[in-house]
Amino acid sequence: MEKINGRLLSWASILEPSTREQAERTAAMPFIHPHMALMPDAHLGKGATVGSVIPTLGAIIPAAVGVDIGCGMMAVRTQFDAADLTGRDLSVLHGQISRAIPLSAGRHNKKVRATAEPRIEELRAMPGIAQADGAAGHWPLQLGSLGSGNHFIEVSLDEKGRVWLFLHSGSRGVGNKLASVHIRRAQEWCRARGIELADRDLAYLEEGTPEFDAYIEALRWAQRFAHLNREEMMDRVVEQVGRFLDDDVQRLDQVQCHHNYTEREEHYGREVWLSRKGAISARTGQPGLIPGSMGTASYVVAGKGNVESLTSAPHGAGRNYSRTAARRLFTRQDLESRMTGIAWGHSNAFLDEHPDAYKDIDVIMRDAADLVEVRHTLRQVVNVKGD
């Protein structure tokens, strides 16, 4: 761990100067308490750094949570092992999953599935439903859809050859629209009060104001949507794996966690609003998930309760190159080579997800040694993504 200054601690051995400067600007905000923590996978974000843990007193920065509110991961360990997959064409399973779950930005279900109905009813009963309906009235059709970018669905094998199902997604278009509304409101709120900011995306809302209350309501709704969205997708993945292997899936272990969210937590003796933008909660013994990039390992972990990190850990590998730079640098041939032995989408659309577009997950995990212990190491055999 590096103490950058009295308000900023870093666990990142790979830290670009621009990322460091951005984090220092956020840490200088007057309501940060006691300090900000940079995770090993920290990289440049909008407003606040991706891979940062931001404790605030009496205020929240909406852009510090980001536009994919509640983004996170879910994993299930099944009763199957590598032998059950041997000799089977995993591209068939890739196709089944791809047809069962809408992929890519803007894609959604054509109709509400029966499994989604009780989840939709739960969301309709929550405070925040009026905001969700106003932002994206078709949100029920988004429940059970993946999105694009670094979101994925994977079938993986652990160190003992056991089959895991693993997915990564968030609150989809409705969460994005809700976040965008409140980021804009925060900017307007600060501007109306003559508050000068080092970065307009550090605009914040003060606790006790109607604007703050409205954001918290939308935030909690979107976080729950994201959680239920992952559940709905996992139900469909389980169904397709059962069909593929001609046997019902048994869920022997299950882990789910957010990594873009805000919760009320106690740290250093004070109740704070803790925003994790690209970070997971890692209380002592708490299960968590840290995925690598396409073609690399992912990890099932347990938290060590590190106090200085605000009981947090990284959420993945963290980008090394922007999407534009990755598309320019990497070739389809090289990506095909790196994905040997994995059933995947075989498309130029995934060049920006090339493993080398991300930091080395092995370095990230070494940097996180004081934050989590590794319970299982997963290697993907099927990778489903949206373009």
Q: Where are the beta strands (DSSP E) in the chain?
A: 2-5, 8-10, 36-43, 50-56, 59-60, 72-81, 152-157, 162-169, 205-206, 253-258, 260-267, 270-277, 279-281, 287-290, 298-303, 312-314, 372-384
DSSP assigned state of 32: B
Query: Following DSSP, what letter does each residue of 311-378 receive, concatenated?
Result: SEEE-S--BSS-HHHHHHH--HHHHHHHTTTSB----GGGGGG-GGGB--HHHHHHHTTTTEEEEEEE
- By DSSP bridging, strand 50-56 and strand 59-60 are unpaired
Contact 19, 43 (CB under 8 A): yes
Marked catalytic residue, from 315, 346, 354, 376: 315
Q: How far apart are CA 101 and CA 371, in angstroms?
A: 34
CB atoms < 10 A from the CB of 306, how many?
20
Q: Is 43 a catalytic residue?
A: no
Q: How far apart are CA 169 and CA 144, in angstroms?
A: 10
Residue (of 93, 77, 91) closest to 245 by Cα position: 93
User: Could you give phi then psi for residue 303, rounded to 5 degrees?
Assistant: -70, 155
| Cα radius of gyration (the chain) | 20
244: tokens are: 């593929």
Query: Following DSSP, what letter does each residue of 248-277 receive, concatenated?
Result: PPP--EEEEEESEEEEEEEETTEEEEEEEE
Q: Which residues are catalytic?
A: 315
